[in-house]
Structure 1
Amino acid sequence: MNLNFSELCCLFCFPPCPSRIASKVAFLPPESTYTFVPSEAGSSTYTVQFNDKAEWQYGDNERANIEGFFTRTSRGNRLACMFMKCLRSSRGLGSRINCNIFSYDYSGYGISTGRPSERNLYADIDAAWNTLRTRYGISPENIILYGQSIGTVPTIDLASRYQVGAVILHSPLMSGMRVAFPKTKRTWFFDVFPSIDKVPKVTSPVLVIHGTEDEVIDLSHGIAIYERCPRPVEPLWVEVSCFVTLVKISCCSSAST
């Protein structure tokens, strides 16, 4: 494991609580930049309104193609979801890669209820997956899972249980302890986000993207995840500083049919 004496004492005498590791390493919910406005009386769908702090500002035509709604997780939390239809006339990710985009906010993020936790992460993506499959009837082979940073944790968990069209992991982490203690070589019972142990079960093609100078999640995490993938494609190591944060939304993207 190559930890120093004081670190070993802390680990064995006072093992960290998994929820504390998770909250310190990952969960820093930013202020919500959007709201849902009922489309019409009694409707279960909403129009999405972005405030002036939103990273992207959409025009009226583009917002008209974003369907907002809530879904419920197995742990009782209400998740805010958005389904963005691909239109050739619109700008943005969907039009550039010719696919629809489905995204959601974790429990405790945006206008989703509950609080952020590792268990909620997995329940959240399960609810998102079930919604994508049942509400829109999209087949697994037409779904590309995308996760960035902490978003790679539930993405890998889901992909280890379901085969999909492809998986994109942007700045993945091996586990919480390996981020907090970079010299950690094994998964301890109190560790969180053990993606390194789940990724060998991912049977879908996987693209790993990682910045070579990432100051939050070291490149070694991306390399280790890539090396453990059964079906990796050529990775993308970005030769620039990649100042990612651990608060990005994990999302499921469905290829347009």
Structure 2
Amino acid sequence: MNGLSIRELCCLFCCPPWPSKIAAKLAFLPPETTYNLVPNENGTKYTLFLSEKAEWQYSEREKENIEVCYARTSRGNKISCMFVKCSPNARYTILFSHGNAVDLGQMSSFYLGLGSRINCNIFSYDYSGYGASSGTPSEKNLYSDIDAAWQCLRTRYGISPENCIIYGQSIGTVPTVDLASRYEVGAVILHSPLMSGMRVAFPNTRRTWCFDAFPSIDKVSKVNSPVLVIHGTEDEVINFSHGLEIHSKCPKAVEPLWVEGAGHNDVELYSQYLERLKQFVSTELGN
């Protein structure tokens, strides 16, 4: 009927999982914080301090390209935000929602390297309960977190929607799809996206249950911006089929990047990754 076994159906109807439990099981593993935001005397600006666990790969001078601040969410949390000035003549700024088990400190070197190579500035944020952000991780907080980041990017940095590329990786594709379904932006990049929580936990699921978490598959058809989907064919966490299905549902999907042999955490190590992003940003969006 829906692809689930009798045993799985019995489990669902006798003891259905709440969305928060699905989310906690599948998504949220905040790492030990790898950075601090230290306020100045007036408390109006903050300085970024990275611990050794952040594994910063550049010089102290290059760290000056990073500006940090806090944004308040509609659910009362204070999330840390990071603006990485990678290119003085960048047309686009990427609003990057990172994957699980990392924070802004661990991602900082990657952001500087990526933005410099594809000529984009990068703005990112830590989810509630991650890094220096307050609160606890939850699906509802994910959506309010990206809304706060979006408003910060728009108001503090004056980035217009048409010059914004919103990029989600793994669990970060969930708030990215949600935002993109409500706002038209320059482009969307979905890196190892998931259809929904239940479809990860029960791969044979063919419909969205009322208690499902992260139902991106039901929102992605409302995304009216160009969408690039990236997925490794040997992804051991979110099966490659999720990327295929998400791509098929995007009204303005561009040629996807299926990285042959790549898993969940190593797509960026393949040369096709940077090549496809450069082509997408400099050629396809430029036209």
Tell me if TM exceeds 0.5. Answer: yes
Determine the structure 1 residue equivalent to 2:175: 154
| AA in 1 matched with 2:245 | A
> Conserved in 2, the CA contact under 8 Å of 1:147 and 1:170?
yes
Determine the structure 1 residue equivalent to 2:221: 200
Name whichever of 44-53 and 181-190 sits farther off: 44-53
SS of the residue 1:185 aligns to: coil
Please tell me whether residue 13 in structure 1 is matched to residue 14 in structure 2.
yes
Aligned 1:97-246 pairs, distance under 5 A: 97-244=118-265
Name whichever of 79-88 and 68-77 sits farther off: 79-88
The CA deviation at 1:135 is 0.6
Determine the structure 1 residue equivalent to 2:30: 29
Unaligned runs of 5+ in 2: 89-108, 267-280, 282-287
| Cα RMSD after superposing both structures | 1.6
Work out the CA distance in 1 between the residues paired with 2:152 and 2:258: 33
The CA deviation at 1:99 is 1.6
Number of aligned residues: 244
Aligned 1:53-92 pairs, distance under 5 A: 53-87=53-87, 92=113
| AA in 1 matched with 2:179 | L
Determine the structure 2 residue equivalent to 1:249: none
> Conserved in 2, the CA contact under 8 Å of 1:47 and 1:64?
no
The CA deviation at 1:86 is 2.1
| AA in 2 matched with 1:66 | I
Q: Deviations over 1:107-157 (max 9, x none)?
A: 000010000000000000000001100111110000000000000000000
Which one scores higher on RCO, CA 8 angstroms, separation ≥ 6? 1
Unaligned runs of 5+ in 1: 246-254
Work out the CA distance in 2 between the residues paired with 1:42 and 1:3: 58
Determine the structure 2 residue equivalent to 1:48: 48
| AA in 2 matched with 1:37 | V
Work out the CA distance in 1 between the residues paired with 2:68 and 2:21: 32
SS of the residue 2:54 aligns to: coil
Work out the CA distance in 2 between the residues paired with 1:21 and 1:45: 37
> Conserved in 2, the CA contact under 8 Å of 1:216 and 1:244?
no
> How does the TM-score come out when normalised to structure 2?
0.82
Work out the CA distance in 1 between the residues paired with 2:36 and 2:161: 30
> How does the TM-score come out when normalised to structure 1?
0.91
Q: Deviations over 1:221-248 (max 9, x none)?
A: 0000000000000000001231339xxx
Q: Percent identity?
A: 70
SS of the residue 1:162 aligns to: coil
More helix by share: 2
> Conserved in 2, the CA contact under 8 Å of 1:149 and 1:244?
no
> Conserved in 2, the CA contact under 8 Å of 1:47 and 1:66?
no
Work out the CA distance in 2 between the residues paired with 1:78 and 1:58: 28
